Amino acid sequence: NGYRYNRRAVDISSGNNRIQVVHPEGVTRLYGGSLRMQPNAYGNYTLVNFVPLETYLRGVVPHEIGPQAPPAAVEAQAILARTYTLRNLRRFGIDDYELCATTDCQVYWGLGDASARADRAIAATRSLVATYENELVDALYSSTTGGITAPFEDVWNGPARPYLQARVDSTGLVWDLAQKSLGNEANLREFLNLKQGFNETGWNRFRWSYSTSLKDMTEFLNKYLGNRNHPMTGIQKIESVKITERSPSGRVLTMEVQTDKGPLEISKDQIRNAFYPPISTLFYLDPMLDENQALKGYTFVGGGFGHGVGLSQTGAYRLAELGWNGERIVQFYFPGTQIQPLNEAIVFWRDPMVTENQGEEG
C-alpha cells in the first residue's frame, strides 16, 4: 500500500513489512522488508528485495538444508549462509543489488516457507560467521561430496583456499588419501566401489551410474556451446570422449572431446554444464559398444551431487545425528577456521589474486 514512482524504479512497501509476489511461473511468495522494481542492463526489470540479514536467512536456510534436517546441521547451514552472504555482497554491484536468489548464490524464497527449526538455528547462531585468519571464508557447500571434498581449485579457476582441502568425508579411516591418491583411476574405481563408513552412506546420490548415447551427449554439448556463442556450436557428432587430467581428490580437471569439427577441451565444473550426466566431476567413464563393437555412448560412474567443495549438506545430517554441534560440523569441512561473532576486525573479502601477487612480489 505504499508506492513511489520515478523514471528509473518503483519502490513498493507495506505497513507490516510483508508483501506477496506472484512470480512468472505462477507461484505466490511472501517477502519481508520492501521491494524495488528497477531497470537492468538486459532491457527489462529486476525485482529487488531489501531485507535485514537475519530475516534474509529465514528465506535461505530451510531451502538449502531441508526442513527436516537435524538442528545442529541447520545451525551449521545458518553459519555458512550468513558467512556466504556477507562475503559476497559485492558480486552484483554493477547491477545495483547484492545477491541473486537462485543456486548461483543461495536459494532465497522469502518468508512463506520459513520454519520454526530454521528460525531457532538462525537465532542460536546469531552474528556467528566462519573465518580464516580473521577473514570471512569462501563459505561454499553442496548437496553431496561423494565421500571426498574437492579443493576450490579442482572446480574453479583461482588461487587455492587453504581451508578448502581434499578431505575424506568420514569420521573413520575408510581411505588413506596420502597413500592412495584418487588421481589414479584404478584407485578411484576402488574408492567409488566403497559404500560403507562415510558420512553420506545411504543417500541416493552418494554413488550413481548413468548411461548416455553419443547422440544425447552431442545434443547437450551443442546447447552448452550455443549458450556461450562458442565457435564450435553446431557439431554433428561426438566421436569420442577422454579424461585427460584428474586431481588427487578424484575430480576430473579436463576432458578432451573429439568431434566432427575437431577436438574440444572442457575443464573443471564446466563439465557438469556441458553434459548430462554427470552430476558431479567425481567420476570415471566406461565405453558402451554396439553389436558391431562400435562406440555408441558412455556410462558415467561416480559419486556426489554438485561441486563438492566445502560442506556436504547430507554429510552434515550424519554428523549432527552423531551429536556434533553446528560449529564442529563447519570446522570439519573447513579445517583451520574459527567460528566467531561479527566484529570490526573481520575482513569481509580480500581479493585473493591481489594477495597472491603481493606475496609473489614480496
Give tens-digit pLDDT for 112-129: 989 999 999 999 999 999
The C-alpha cell that represents 79 in the structure block: 553459519
Last residue of a domain, one of 284, 302, 320: 302
Query: Measured between alpha carbons, how far is 352 from 41 in angstroms, rounded to an integer?
Result: 28
For residues 281 and 335, state if they share a domain: no
Strand order, beta sheet including 238-246: 238-246, 252-259, 262-267
Q: Which residues pair with 243 in a beta bridge?
A: 255
Domain membership flag for residue 69: yes
Domain membership flag for residue 179: no
For residues 296 and 223, state if they share a domain: yes
Domain membership flag for residue 190: no
The residue range of the domain holding 68 is 52-140+310-361
Parallel, antiparallel, or unpaired: how do β-strands 28-32 and 34-39 relate? unpaired
Query: Measured between alpha carbons, how far is 16 from 20 in angstroms, rounded to an integer?
Result: 12
Domain membership flag for residue 117: yes
For residues 232 and 272, state if they share a domain: yes
Domain membership flag for residue 155: no
The interaxial angle of helices 71-87 and 313-321, nearest 10 deg, is 140
Query: Measured between alpha carbons, how far is 55 from 82 in angstroms, rounded to an integer?
Result: 11
SS3 for 257-295 is: EEECCEEEEEECCHHHHHCCCCCCCEEEEEEEECCCCCE
Secondary structure of residue 255 in the 3-state scheme: strand
Measured CA to CA in angstroms, residue 246 lies from 188, 193, 284 at distances of 10, 18, 10
For residues 293 and 337, state if they share a domain: no
242-272 burial code (b ≥16 CB/10 A, e <16): ebeebbbbbbbbebebebeeeebebbbbbbb
Domain membership flag for residue 353: yes
Domain membership flag for residue 134: yes
Query: Measured between alpha carbons, how far is 277 from 265 in angstroms, rounded to an integer?
Result: 17
Sites in the chain below the pLDDT cut of 70: 1-7, 352-362
For residues 333 and 259, state if they share a domain: no
pLDDT at 42: 82
For residues 245 and 329, state if they share a domain: no
Last residue of a domain, one of 302, 330, 350: 302
Task: Count structural domains, the chain.
Answer: 2
For residues 224 and 266, state if they share a domain: yes
The C-alpha cell that represents 225 in the structure block: 556451446
Query: What's 14's DSSP letter?
Result: -
Domain membership flag for residue 285: yes
Residues 6+ apart with CB under 8 A from 169: 145, 146, 147, 148, 149, 198, 199, 200, 312, 315
For residues 280 and 353, state if they share a domain: no
Q: Could you tell me the pTM of the whole model? A: 0.91
